[in-house]
Structure 1
Amino acid sequence: MAMQPRLDLRQTQSLVMTPQLQQAIKLLQLSNIELSAYVEQELERNPLLERSENGPDVAPVESLPEVRRDADSLLFDSPDGSRAEAPLDIEVNNSFDEGSPMEGPSYDPDDLTAWQRNDSGGGGFDSDDRSFEETLAEQTSLRDHLLSQMGVDLAAPAERMIGLALIDSLDDAGYLRADLAELADGLGTTPDHVERVLVKLQRFDPAGLFARSLQECLALQLKDRNRYDPAMEALLANLDMVARRDFTGLLKVCGVDNEDLQEMIAELRTLDPKPAQQFDGQSAQPVTPDVLMRVNPEGGWIVELNPETLPRVLVNNRYYAKVSRSARSKDDKAFINENFQTASWLVKSLDQRATTILKVSSELVRQQHGFFERGIQGLRPLILRDIAAAIEMHESTVSRVTSNKYIATPRGIFELKYFFTQAIAGADGADAHSAEAVRHRIKSLIDAEPPAKILSDDAIVDILKKDGIDIARRTVAKYREGMKIPSSVQRRREKSLMR
């Protein structure tokens, strides 16, 4: 067959990811912290974007059947008596009754008296407006803490130089990982000299630093407490037997009775295997929920977006009109139009993101209302497909919305993904049970077992089947191991020692 060039006309379908669509998908999966950083970058880059103090204009959530689309339900009274559109922090009265209204915000963000009433410090300009980080005391680093002690305990300049090298050789847990011979060679001294300085440093506070193994770390802490005797030394030499809960073997090795061994193990548990981690730690950052949930006095729940996590930006149309008239060159006009389109799409994407989060959260609350009423026992099996089908969205969209998003509920703050759990079949055709609820049930049974009647995995299976939960023994063992609960044999040994 002869090879020759030719032209063919074909018609195909393909999904094209436009830059705007990619941006919308990216915004959807960002956490509130990442979103704030992204919006700040756009505010610096795009001259047509500006920060809004009152929040962007928001349309009603059209896809929620429970929402009544009255225009008045989206309006609130301003301090001057005028009517203005509500910001993005709208409330959805999710009482699960057909035709329930969407409520507006409870106060005007520009109303000073409302701000004073809602201020946790009592209101007024005398309240403490400092951030959480500003109220924390400055932490001393481990290095500074050790250097202050070295200046007192090490007088010779050579010892201080060796001590400084040893301090810089500590890892994050406080262990000394450097080879003393190599360290001595680099400092031009002998290993014995480095060892003598190390012994002095091992008496520094907190006890347990500069250890070269877990056994030595625990031994240093016991010596600091004057509790390092031959029995304790034997116990530390057999930490693998402690991990296996081989109490019979430990009684023989340590030469003590049951009561003494129980006290020794209890004291061992009070020691810190990573003594350096109390230093150089970052302050705990509180989780800022994206969605707020509270009880509706009329029944059901009220679900609303957290206004503190919502970026408030808008397009400066007045400035756009001004610079468009003054633009002369083709490049200037293209630059202005591109920034205008980018700014408009960003505002639209942020609005769509907020609406989607609210829809998904409201449906989650509706389907998991048993959890909020009865606790973890009321958690029902739920997958992404269930929510996606209810709100008519794709599963991937629901997955992006629930990643790194949190909801504040009367039972605490939870990630939205927490409410998706696998199903455990019910016995004799009963309804399925949530895997998380089954795990909680297994832990409750083990916590309540008497020392004289330790429950085996088979016994737990029989109890759960009587409760209408059809579960295999290997599944019980997997859940038990996932919760760090030892086997029935190990629990029997441990509880018999404590009697």
Structure 2
Amino acid sequence: MGLAPRLDLRQTQGLVMTPQLQQAIKLLQMSNLDLNAFVEQEMERNPLLERDERADFEAPPERAEVRPDAEAAVVVDRGAGEEAAGPSPLDHDYNTDRDEAGAGDMAAAGDAGGLDALGLAVGAWGGGGGARDFTADERGLEETLAGPTSLRDHLSAQMAVDLTDPVDRLVGGHLLGLLDPCGYLTASVEEVAATLGAPPERVAAVLARMQALDPPGLFARSLKECLALQLADRNRLDPAMQALLDHLELLGRRDMPALLKVCGVDAEDLRDMIAEIRALDPKPALRFDGEPIHTVVPDVVMRPNPEGGWLVELNSETLPRVLVNRRYLARVKPAAAADKAVRAFLGDRLQTANWLVKALDQRATTILKVAGEIVRQQDAFLAHGIQHLRPLILRDVAGAIGMHESTVSRVTNNKYIATPRGLFELKYFFTQAINSSAGGEAHSAEAVRARIKALIDAEPPRRVLSDDRIVALLRAEGIDIARRTVAKYREAMRIPSSVQRRREKMALAGA
């Protein structure tokens, strides 16, 4: 066989990931809040984009009508009324013109009325309605409200009253700087004394006074000391409670017989003592400097349809709507005709703006299709509860709406839906299947976990259910499950074993 260079022609098919296609895929993964931030950045970079202020008044909601008995969810009321089963939104020539005066009209109006606008501004500062010397505080009430008090400020105000000696204040300030985010002291008395060059006795005395500050439990060096400080503040640190704190490992193991022995109390008193321990705060500093709680904003909202089924709508309050301001483009285009660079810039910005408008519409349609199909598949759960949650995988939804599994995965990523049964992430509805022992329809793993928890919550103290007994009960209900699976689900829900549950319930019942 000879070796010689030659030319061959081959014809192959391949998918080219253009930058716009890559960006469209990223848009699917964004929540509405992330999408709003992205649109704001695009509007800053693109002068041809502007927000559609008329959307809240004129545009109908984008929603999907879901009927459980239908073969698939039907998307309706998509702005202009087109059905989801029609052509892809990217195949349409959308009218993105802005009818009202845009940025260009405002610029033109500024040439004729600029002095009037300037005079109005001067009148606002120089008229009788405002202060000319800037001495009055004209801020609104929302600008004068106090912010949240930090733990350092809260303790410093108390130290200024309780610690009058300058040396004690110096030691107290150093101890304050050694607190960790939970409120525990990260150094011993000897280490603090060596650092400050002070007697350990004086440091210990200042520490005792600092531990008496509000909230109780701060400046502790262990969980036991933290709980003891809070009980002492409530005047509940008696010998029995001290013995319970000395044996917290027994409480962690739920060894109630041993706790009854070391504390020297009966079952009723022990039950009250444990309730008091659980009511304490093991991390007292987090109430001041903890991370703010971020409210989850749903991307999709669903509600019952008066005509039957469900209505699934995109959350219009967080959904961005943008338009291409062609009036502004028409005003600046003649001036840019002579400059090749400016003309190329405007052409690129116009192409990007048109793509963004169409990509947002394509994203809305895709989310509605996926969310509507999920609601249709999980209609029994939404109507009757978690026991009726059916197993579902990405392939089931993708096959029903004619999309790829990766697209469904991107749509359900970091998206939440508000339902009559609460707020759920779209991925919550995708669960593994557990076979039926009677050969019927499979059961959802989430529904099985809920059933296991319900059985354990209802067990009597003298007849605690073992994992084998739970398996037998579930198989009697038609759920084919292994013992190790029951143990795995129980441990995931942080439910102790039957031995620990029996020991705890028998002790608390007075046996």
Rounded to whole Å, the distance in 2 between the matches of 1:433 and 1:178 is: 54
Q: Which residue of structure 1 lines up, in the alignment, with residue 442 of structure 2?
A: 432
Q: TM-score, normalised by structure 1?
A: 0.83
Q: CA deviation at 1:274?
A: 0.7
**1:33 aligned to 2:42?**
no
Contact 2:64 / 2:369 at 8 angstroms: preserved in 1?
no
Matched ranges for 1:277-316 at <5 A: 277-316=286-325
| CA distance in structure 2 between the aligned counterparts of 1:352 and 1:51, rounded to whole angstroms | 18
Moved more, 193-202 or 457-466: 193-202
Equivalence map 1:356-435=2 (5 Å): 356-435=366-445
Work out the CA distance in 2 between the residues paired with 1:403 and 1:363: 16
In 2, Cα distance between equivalents of 1:274 and 1:50: 48
Aligned CA distance change for structure 1 residues 188 and 2 (closer, same or farther; 3 Å) = farther
What aligned pairs does 1:198-277 form with structure 2 within 5 A after superposition?
Answer: 198-277=207-286
> Who is 1:108 aligned against?
none
Pairwise CA distance, 1:240:
1.2
Aligned to 2:48: 48
CA contact (8 A) 1:55 1:313 kept: no
Rate the CA distance shift 1:397–1:100 in 2: closer, same or farther, 3 A: closer
CA distance in 2, matches of 1:140, 1:170: 17
Q: CA RMSD in A?
A: 2.6
Offset, 1:6: 7.9
Partner of 1:468: 478
Match of 1:62 in 2: none
Paired residue for 2:352, among 334, 342, 346?
342
Kindly indicate whether the alpha-carbon contact (under 8 Å) linking 1:461 and 1:472 is maintained by their aligned counterparts in 2. Answer: yes
Give the residue type in structure 1 aligned to 2:332: V
Q: Give CA deviations for 1:306-349 in whole Å, capped at 9, x if unaligned.
A: 11121011111222233232213322222212211111111111
Range moving further from structure 2, 272-281 or 226-235: 226-235
Shift of the 91–9 alpha-carbon distance from structure 1 to 2, 3 Å rule, reads: closer
Measured at CA, do residues 183 and 18 of structure 1 come closer, stay the same or move farther in structure 2, by a change above 3 Å?
farther
Please identify, of 135-144 and 254-263, the stretch whose mean Cα deviation from structure 2 is larger. Answer: 135-144
Task: Give distance in 2, aligned partners of 1:221 and 1:5.
Answer: 87
2:115 matched residue in structure 1: none
Structure 1 212/101 Cα, relative in aligned 2: closer, same or farther at 3 Å?
Answer: closer
| Contiguous gaps of at least 5 residues in structure 2 | 80-141
Matches of 2:318 and 2:229, distance apart in 1:
48
Share of identical aligned residues, percent?
A: 65
Q: 1:93 aligns with which of 62, 65, 77?
A: 65
| Aligned with residue 102 of structure 1, among 76, 93, 97 | 76
Using a 3 Å threshold, how does the CA distance of structure 1 residues 13 and 166 change in structure 2: closer, same or farther?
A: farther
Runs of 4+ deviating beyond 4 Å:
1-14, 96-101, 133-137
Instruction: Specify the structure having the higher radius of gyration (Cα).
Output: 2
Counterparts in 2 of 1:135 and 1:312: CA distance versus 1, 3 Å: farther
**Residue type matched to 1:263 in 2?**
D
Secondary structure in structure 2 of the residue aligned to 1:308: coil
- Determine if the alignment matches structure 1 residue 490 to structure 2 residue 500: yes
Asked whether the 8 Å contact 2:28–2:363 carries over to 1, the reply is: yes
Q: 1:195 to 1:3 in 2, by over 3 A?
A: farther
Measured in 2, the distance between the counterparts of 1:134 and 1:197 equals 39
Q: 1:220 to 1:322 in 2, by over 3 A?
A: same
Q: Paired residue for 1:456? A: 466
Task: Quote how far apart the aligned CAs of 1:101 are.
Answer: 8.2
Q: Distance in 2 between matches of 1:161 and 1:3?
A: 88
Distance 1:330 1:199, change over 3 A: same
**Does the CA-based 8 Å contact 2:297-2:416 persist in structure 1?**
yes
Q: Comparing both chains, which one has the higher relative contact order based on Cα–Cα distances under 8 Å and sequence gaps of 6 or more?
A: 2
Alignment-mate amino acid for residue 299 of structure 1: G
Deviation, 1:189, is: 2.5
Bigger mean CA offset, 36-45 vs 373-382: 36-45
Shift in Å, 1:302: 1.2
Task: Give the distance between the partners of 2:13 and 2:156, measured in 1 at CA.
Answer: 69
390-399 vs 258-267, which moves further: 258-267
The alpha carbon displacement at 1:135 in A equals: 13
1:216–1:8 distance in 2 versus 1, CA, 3 Å: farther
Cα drift, residue 137 of structure 1? 7.5
